[in-house]
Amino acid sequence: MKMNLSELQRKDIINMENGKRLGRIIDAEINEKGTIEFFVVMDHKFWRFWKSNGEFNITINQIKKIGTDVILVDQII
């Protein structure tokens, strides 16, 4: 399935282990070959304040399912 980054940014990231909302994708790190290394996610608690310490990364391998409204992930450290 083809999808734009802007479409992914509108979806909530959900931890499959406990069902908690983790945040939303705000950016992607792309290597020199043009491959996505990871997505940068802003913790939903920090949206109002936009603090850099509220960010974490998820890799493609951590994404288990992309739905219409959410992205399900596991192995969040």
The ranges assigned to domains in the chain are 5-73
**CATH H superfamily, domain 5-73:** PRC-barrel domain (2.30.30.240)
The yes-or-no verdict on residue 6 having pLDDT over 60 is yes
Task: Kindly report, residue by residue over 21-68, the tens digit of the pLDDT.
Answer: 999 999 999 999 999 999 999 886 655 555 556 788 999 999 999 999
Look up residue 27 and give its two tokens.
């950016």
Rg (C-alpha) for the chain, rounded Å, is 12
Burial of 35 (0-12, 13-18, 19+ CB in 10 A): exposed
